[in-house]
């Protein structure tokens, strides 16, 4: 089951995207609908709200007067905390029930306004953000919801800004255009990424990849992309992972690279990494084990053991190397990254090597092998590099 978080600021068109995904076959769990459901007449949460806030937040028909309750809680942090203490447990319990009721092969979309504000990105396989320029959102709120421009600006300012949303977004759905353009974007996303990702996830397999070598100019969003993957792995493994680090060329600012995020999981022992629960936890999070890639060419003349996981996501290639903390391979990966970060000449030399190998027409597998002599030649410089945190 692929779990997708869908979010966007007020007036962005998030509900339109949710409807389009439902029409395509997704099971949509609407957080706002759940929040309304748990305070319907007769629900235990409604009685608890009456006990805490009194009759003044209820209408003559006995239903909750949401605007009245809003005026109370948003002016009083303790009152807001009390309300959340009543409603959040039942909201999350109901949400869990709805997700659990979905078929095992479903694509479940959680339509949740506060994914970014609550730092929930690691709970999902992907986060989709519907993005619209602030002024366009104001125009829509005034036209479609009858807000004053001042109220619309205030509501937008109270939410996460676009920088925070972009950092959280695995997919940014631009809704500055027409409804037809948005619909095309959603349909392409469904066919090209969500459906294949779900199929790979269901079967525990790595996304298809090409052996054609391509280099990408440095991208400013590589660290943010890596941070999202790191958070998901940490969520999946908990204390079984000593640390999870962004390594490889995409972790080095300004360096040309294959568009692949390399991560390293540090474990106490490779026996931990071979535990079926460890393997299953990563696979369920979208990082299936890849057999046959269980060692690196050591720079000391030996082989350095590791485990390797790929990604089920066809839209974000990633390599996950699992190594024992303190082992030669673990240390070398970190020192190589930090050496490149600190040494401009080294970066330039490595970039030149990459372009030279690209010019030979090598495939990805041959490219990796062709870099080994250079790695051997710089080994002494790398091992002398100071790791972040070293004295």
Question: What's the CATH code of the domain at 38?
Answer: 3.40.50.300
For residue 154, tell me if it sits in a domain.
Answer: yes
Q: How far apart are CA 299 and CA 151, in angstroms?
A: 63
Asked if 191 and 283 sit in the same domain, the reply is no
For residue 389, tell me if it sits in a domain.
Answer: no
Sheet with 307-309: strands ordered across? 243-247, 261-267, 318-324, 307-309
What would the pLDDT profile of 75-125 be if each residue is shown by its tens digit?
789 999 999 999 999 999 999 999 999 999 999 999 999 999 999 999 999
Q: Which two tokens stand for residue 61?
A: 């028909």
For residue 180, tell me if it sits in a domain.
Answer: yes
What's the domain count of the chain?
2
Establish whether 136 is an annotated binding residue.
Answer: no
Q: How many helices (H) and strands (E) does the chain have?
A: 18, 11
For residue 57, tell me if it sits in a domain.
Answer: yes
For residue 216, tell me if it sits in a domain.
Answer: no
Closest CA to 187 of 9, 369, 17: 17
Point out the domain boundary residue: 155, 171, 203.
Answer: 203
In the chain, which ranges are E strands?
2-8, 27-30, 107-111, 126-131, 171-174, 243-247, 261-267, 295-297, 303-305, 307-309, 318-324
Asked if 195 and 281 sit in the same domain, the reply is no
Q: Write down the pLDDT at residue 290.
A: 96
Asked if 258 and 352 sit in the same domain, the reply is yes
Closest CA to 107 of 24, 216, 218: 24
Note down the domain range covering 230.
222-383
For residue 208, tell me if it sits in a domain.
Answer: no
Asked if 16 and 162 sit in the same domain, the reply is yes
Asked if 199 and 230 sit in the same domain, the reply is no
Q: Please give the chain's pLDDT, 391 residues, in tens.
A: 999 999 998 888 899 999 999 999 999 999 999 999 999 988 999 999 999 999 999 998 889 998 899 889 877 899 999 999 999 999 999 999 999 999 999 999 999 999 999 999 999 999 999 998 888 888 888 888 887 888 788 778 878 888 999 999 999 999 999 999 999 999 999 999 999 999 999 999 999 988 899 999 999 999 999 999 999 999 999 999 999 999 999 999 999 999 999 999 999 999 999 999 999 999 999 999 999 999 998 888 889 999 999 999 999 999 999 999 999 999 999 999 999 999 999 999 999 999 999 999 999 989 988 999 999 899 888 888 666 655 4
Point out the domain boundary residue: 203, 230, 254.
Answer: 203
Asked if 76 and 193 sit in the same domain, the reply is yes
Establish whether 306 is an annotated binding residue.
Answer: no
Cα–Cα distances in Å, from 371 out to 100, 118, 190, 253, 365?
A: 47, 43, 37, 20, 11
For residue 391, tell me if it sits in a domain.
Answer: no
Q: How far apart are CA 17 and CA 261, in angstroms?
A: 28
For residue 212, tell me if it sits in a domain.
Answer: no
Q: What are phi and psi of 190, to 5 degrees?
A: -60, -50
Establish whether 118 is an annotated binding residue.
Answer: no
Q: What are phi and psi of 376, to 5 degrees?
A: -60, -40
Q: Which two tokens stand for residue 85?
A: 């203490």
Closest CA to 341 of 245, 224, 248: 248
Q: What are phi and psi of 301, to 5 degrees?
A: 90, 0
Establish whether 253 is an annotated binding residue.
Answer: no
Asked if 194 and 329 sit in the same domain, the reply is no
Asked if 349 and 244 sit in the same domain, the reply is yes
Establish whether 14 is an annotated binding residue.
Answer: yes
Asked if 8 and 111 sit in the same domain, the reply is yes
**Residue 277 is part of a domain; what is its CATH number?**
3.30.460.10
Residue 238 has, within 13 A of its CA and on its CB side, a CA count of 3
Establish whether 249 is an annotated binding residue.
Answer: no
Point out the domain boundary residue: 170, 203, 236.
Answer: 203
């Amino acid at each position: 089951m692929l779990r997708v978080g869908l979010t966007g600021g007020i007036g962005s068109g998030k509900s339109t995207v949710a409807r389009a995904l439902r029409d395509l076959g997704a099971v949509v769990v609407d957080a706002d609908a759940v929040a309304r459901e748990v305070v319907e007449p007769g629900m235990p949460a409604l009685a608890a709200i009456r006990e805490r806030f009194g009759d003044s937040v209820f209408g003559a028909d006995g239903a909750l007067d949401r605007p009245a309750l809003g005026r109370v809680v948003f002016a009083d942090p303790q009152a807001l905390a009390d309300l959340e203490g009543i409603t959040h447990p039942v909201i999350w319990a109901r949400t869990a029930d709805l997700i659990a009721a979905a078929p095992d092969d479903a694509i479940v979309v959680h339509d949740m306004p506060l994914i970014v504000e609550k730092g929930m990105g690691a709970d999902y396989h992907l986060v989709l953000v519907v993005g619209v320029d602030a002024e366009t959102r104001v125009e829509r709120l005034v036209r479609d919801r009858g807000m004053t421009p001042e109220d619309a600006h205030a509501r937008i300012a109270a939410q996460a800004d676009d920088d925070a949303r972009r950092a959280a977004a695995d997919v940014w759905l631009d809704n500055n255009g027409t409804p037809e353009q948005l619909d095309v974007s959603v349909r392409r996303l469904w066919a090209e990424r969500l459906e294949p990702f779900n199929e790979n996830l269901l079967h525990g397999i790595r996304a298809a990849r090409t052996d054609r070598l391509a280099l990408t100019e440095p991208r400013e969003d590589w660290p943010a992309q890596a941070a999202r993957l790191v958070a998901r792995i940490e969520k999946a493994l908990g204390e079984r992972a000593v640390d999870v680090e962004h390594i490889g060329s995409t972790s080095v600012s300004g360096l040309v690279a294959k568009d692949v995020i390399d991560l390293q999981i540090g474990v106490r022992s490779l026996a931990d990494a071979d535990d079926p629960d460890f393997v299953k936890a990563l696979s369920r999070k979208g990082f299936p084990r890849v057999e046959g890639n269980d060692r690196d060419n050591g720079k000391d003349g030996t082989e350095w053991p590791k485990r390797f996981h790929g990604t089920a996501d066809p839209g974000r290639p990633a390599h996950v190397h699992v190594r024992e903390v303190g082992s030669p391979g673990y240390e070398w990966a970190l020192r190589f990254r930090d050496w490149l970060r600190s040494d401009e000449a080294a970066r330039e030399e490595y970039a030149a090597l990459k372009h030279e190998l690209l010019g030979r027409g090598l495939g990805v597998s041959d490219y990796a092998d062709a870099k080994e002599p250079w790695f051997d030649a710089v080994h002494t410089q790398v091992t002398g590099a100071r790791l972040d945190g070293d004295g």
